[in-house]
Amino acid sequence: MLTGGVGGARFLRGLVDAVDPAGVTAIVNVGDDVEVLGLAVSPDLDSVLYALAGLADDERGWGRAEETWNALATVESLGGEAWFRLGDRDLGLHLVRTQALRAGKPLSTVTAALTASLGLETAILPATDEPLRTWLDTPNGSFPFQEWFVARSHRDPVDRVRFEGAVEARPAPGVLDALHEADLILIAPSNPFVSIGPVLAVERIRSALERRRVPCVAVSPLIGGRAVKGPAASMLMRLNGGTSAAHVTQCYVGLIDALVIDEADAADVDAVSALGVRPIVTRTLMRNAAARRQLAEAALDAVALA
């Protein structure tokens, strides 16, 4: 499964409820990665780790449950960099990761160690071990992802998304094997531009999808033409010209065989089919464990029906 952070992690939880977790590989966006206070932060990898380990704060929607913010309060009181919200529990993980990276370990190795420490059976792989960073070109300037998303609250309209380092970036160890050996490839209901886009910007990942011999099924992150959270709809409007399920499909033409869309978007089925993609209509709001699992099963059924 190709995935970003929070939306993707929700779907992944449903998936590992529906199938053997050890049979699942998550290929995770690293375009959001950022250095804060000297620490290497990988927000999407961490969302996936926390979600699968049952440590995520479901209400806040990001970070860890039962979080406290003492370290950040100290940073702020000392005039340090405090725009990126790092909680105390979260900080512990960034310390461990940063030390391992500084010792020369690749991100994939570090992530595997964290996954094992948390007792997870699912393989969690960064899309690449090399630096790949998402940039947004806007009428107000060009910004690295977190500056645009967090510091500027993603309010600048996006004219273009760029992936610095993508041309040179090779897939992390295990990524191509997972894609070649999979029975099914899934694309999570993550933001197509800034969560899945950076993964697909790694040329050999994109070509593995283009040449797939197994079905690839994506889940739309929009319900009734609106994002459940975040800038997906406004980006689709500006970059693809609309927010229908067909506009979501356009992001993945040639890469997917089916798109799971919400009942609220059922009117778009013909427009999705016209792009050569089979629409699967179901309820896609993952409000609880049962809904997450039902959505994962709908995506898995897409294959059985194909």
In this complex, which beta carbon is closest to ligand GDP, that of residue 72 or of residue 199? 199
Report d(CA 42, CA 28) in Å as an integer.
10
DSSP for residue 129? S
Region from 120-128, 166-174, 188-196, 207-215 binding ligand GDP, contact rule CB under 6 A: 188-196
Residues 6+ apart with CB under 8 A from 117: none
- By the rule CB under 6 A, 146 interacts with ligand GDP: no
Q: Report the partner that residue 60 touches, choosing among ligand GDP, Ca ion, none (CB closer than 5 to 8 A by kind).
A: none
Strand 226-227 with 222-223, pairing: antiparallel
Q: How far is the CB of 283 from Ca ion (least distance, A)?
A: 24
* Smaller CB separation from ligand GDP, 151 or 285: 285
Looking at residue 129, its amino acid is D
The residue behind tokens 């806007």 is 138
Instruction: Name residues whose C-beta falls within 8 Å of residue 228's C-beta, 6 or more positions apart in sequence.
Output: 7, 221, 222, 285
Judge whether 163 and 196 are in contact, CB under 8 Å.
no
The residue sitting closest to ligand GDP, measured at its beta carbon, is 7
Output 51 or 208, the one with its CB closest to ligand GDP.
Answer: 51
User: What type of residue sits at position 127?
Assistant: A
Q: Is 217 in the site for ligand GDP (CB under 6 A)?
A: no
CA atoms within 13 A on the CB side of 18: 19
Question: Contact with Ca ion (CB under 5 A): which of 5, 126, 225, 230?
Answer: 5
* Of 12, 33, 44, 255, the one binding Ca ion by CB under 5 A: 44
| Binding status of residue 244 toward ligand GDP by CB under 6 A | no
Binding residue for ligand GDP (CB under 6 A) from 28, 232, 235, 248?
232
Mark the segment that binds Ca ion (CB under 5 A) among 31-39, 104-112, 198-206, 274-282. Answer: 31-39
Give which of 299, 297, 296 is closest to 279, Cα–Cα.
Answer: 299
Stretch of residues binding Ca ion (CB under 5 A), selected from 38-46, 155-163, 245-253, 270-278: 38-46
Q: Out of 2, 4, 86, 302, point to the residue binding ligand GDP (CB under 6 A).
A: 4
SS3 state at 31: coil
CB of 96 to ligand GDP, least distance (A): 21
Beta bridge partners of 281: 261
Pick from 148, 154, 144, 175: nearest CA to 3: 175
Question: Which residues contact ligand GDP (rule: CB under 6 A)?
Answer: 3-8, 10, 44, 47, 188-191, 195, 220-221, 223, 227-230, 232, 284-286
Question: Which residues contact Ca ion (rule: CB under 5 A)?
Answer: 4-5, 32, 44
